[in-house]
């Protein structure tokens, strides 16, 4: 199973495009920060993302925080100078609050009221 979950901020608004077969897709990038011990050691990794779901793309705007779930894919191509290139992208299937594992469930006690304390 090839499932990737990332969380970060959108680097740009989604850009709509049309494939050769006429299907519409949207591309965008997500910056994922990894904290170092010192602020100077923070590392940002950029993920190129694509989705075929218009409903997901409509929710996105530059700078917004997202949680994206999808599959990493590899694409090999030849650039304009004839050099062989390879790129990776995350094909996003689910984002944000629609990701089931990130939805918050409210704990209730026996009388139906929310628990004030969550045991760990």
Q: Which ranges of the chain does DSSP label H, i.e. alpha helix?
A: 54-57
CA distance 81 to 67: 36
- Residue 120 maps to a domain: no
DSSP secondary structure letter of residue 46: E
Q: Is 45 a member of any domain?
A: yes
How many domains, in total, are found in the chain? 1
- For residue 55, is pLDDT > 50? yes
**pTM for this prediction:** 0.70
Count CB neighbours of 12 within 10 A. 13
The answer to whether residue 87 is domain-embedded is yes
24: helix, strand or coil: strand
Domain coverage including residue 66? 4-74+81-101
Among 97, 105, 106, smallest CA distance to 7 is for: 97
At 35, which CATH number?
2.40.50.140
Quote the DSSP letter at residue 108.
B
Q: What is the pLDDT of residues 6-32, one digit of tens each?
A: 999 999 999 999 988 989 999 999 999
């Amino acid at each position: 199973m090839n499932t990737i979950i990332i969380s970060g901020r959108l680097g740009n608004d989604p850009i709509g495009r049309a494939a050769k077969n006429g299907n519409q897709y949207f591309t965008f990038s997500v910056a994922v920060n990894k904290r170092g011990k010192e602020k100077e050691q923070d590392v940002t990794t950029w993920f190129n993302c694509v989705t075929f779901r218009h409903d997901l793309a409509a929710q996105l705007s530059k700078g917004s925080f997202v949680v994206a779930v999808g599959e990493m894919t590899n694409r090999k191509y030849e650039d304009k100078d004839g050099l062989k290139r390879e790129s990776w992208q995350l094909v996003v299937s689910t984002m944000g609050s629609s990701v089931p594992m990130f939805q918050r469930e409210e704990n209730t006690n026996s009388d139906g009221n929310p628990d004030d304390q969550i045991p760990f």
